[in-house]
Amino acid sequence: MDVVVCLKQVVDPELPVRDFAVDPGTQRQVREGRPLVISTYDENALEVALQLKDASGAKVKVLTLGPAAAVSEAIRLALAMGADEAIVVDDPRAPELSGAEKACTLAAAIRRIGSADLILTGCESADWAERVVAPLLAEDLGAACVTFVSRVEAGDGAPVVRRLVEDGYHLVEVRLPAVLSVTSDESNRPRLPKVKDIMAAKRKPVQTWSPADLTRSSARDPGAGVEVRGVVVPERTSRCEFLTGEPAEQVTALAQRLRDQKLL
């Protein structure tokens, strides 16, 4: 089985609040000087793929869209964790693209890869959380789509996937090819790379493609429909007020304030 995992590199979601900033020109998060990591659920997707590799010898390719210079860390980690090869679609504009635009480019790249039985993505990205890439990929590729998957069991027949829902899960049999969006769960906690694999990762094949080399599906205009008008960092303020007067007056005033806030 051939598995393609789409990985997105994002600014570390655990960045200190102080370092979070929005570029007013692009309305996107400032990336310069910030640590970049693989988006959280994408790591779970990679883990699900690697479990398929362990269980049934699937071949795992990782696919990422971004400025090639910036994504090497993410690629290196994915290869060290056990992916067989990597494809980078080198697009310096990638961080500014919408989910729909990205899905269109990724679908074109997957068509160029040729064989892809399962395409895995995170269920949402750690920065924009649009949740559109998996369904749009499926539509573009004419593949089945299951969202919020935690686990895939590949037997002799069609794979059976576990789809998490509130208070339980669905077991769904999928026909291939299929696009699965993966959520996190105890069973797909991303593995640590072995030191030997970290060393071997340096020798694994990484292909870099230009978006110009890809044939996007002509049926749709992915840019249309969504425009980001503005992004702001929520401000948190705290106010401290001293109540004056005799203790009895202070208590009355405090009680009144608490009632005003509907806390009493």
Partner 1 sequence: MDPLVPTREIYWNIPAFGVVIMYLLAAASVAVFGHGVYQHFRMWRRGQPVDRLTPIWPRLRSVLLHVAAHGRLLAERVPGIYHLALFWGFAFLLVGTMVVFVQADLRLPIMRGSFYLYFQSLALDLMGAAATAGVAAAMVMRYVFKSPRLRRGILSDGVILWFLGAILLTGFLVEGLRIAGTRDPWGPWSPVGYQISVLSGVVEMSSTAIRGSHAVLWWVHFVLSMVFVAYIPRSKLFHLLLAPVNVYLRPLSDVGSPRLVDFEKVERFGAFAFSELTWKDLFDLDVCTECGRCTAACPANTTGKLLSPMEVVLDLRDEMARTGGVSGPVLAGGVVQAEALWGCTTCLACMEACPVFIEHVPKIVEMRRYLAMEEAVVPDLMGEALRSLEARGHPFRGAGIARTAWTAGIDVKSLPRGEAAEWLLWVGCAAALNERNHSTLRALVRVLHAAGVDLAILGDEETCTGDPARAMGNEYLFQTLARQTIETLDRYAVKKIVTACPHCYNTFKHTYPQMGGRYEVWHHAQLLAHLVETGRIAPTEPMDSIVAFHDPCYLGRHNGEYAAPRRVLRAIPGVRAVEMSRCRENGFCCGAGGGLYWSEDRTGQRINHARTDQAVASGAQIVATACPFCMLMIEDGVAARETVVRPLDVAELLDRSIGGSR
Burial pattern 185-210, b for ≥16 Cβ within 10 A else e, equals beebebbebeeebeeebeebebeebe
CA distance 106 to 141: 10
- Nearer residue to partner 1 within complex by CB, 14 or 241: 14
> What are the structure tokens assigned to 114, written together?
């040729």
Position among 170, 189, 202, 259 found at the interface with partner 1 (CB under 8 A): 189
Going from the C-alpha of 77 to that of each of 45, 89, 211, 262, the distances in angstroms are: 14, 17, 23, 50
The size of the interface with partner 1 (CB under 8 A), counted in residues, is 20
Q: Which stretch binds partner 1 (CB under 8 A): 90-98, 133-141, 193-201, 254-262?
A: 193-201
Residue 191 near partner 1 by CB under 8 A? yes
Position among 57, 166, 196, 230 found at the interface with partner 1 (CB under 8 A): 196
CA distance 90 to 240: 51
CA distance 256 to 264: 9
Residue 233 near partner 1 by CB under 8 A? no
Residue 136 near partner 1 by CB under 8 A? no
Position among 55, 129, 171, 192 found at the interface with partner 1 (CB under 8 A): 192
- Nearer residue to partner 1 within complex by CB, 20 or 207: 20
Residue 19 near partner 1 by CB under 8 A? yes
Interface with partner 1 (CB under 8 A): 12, 14-19, 35, 37, 77, 189-198
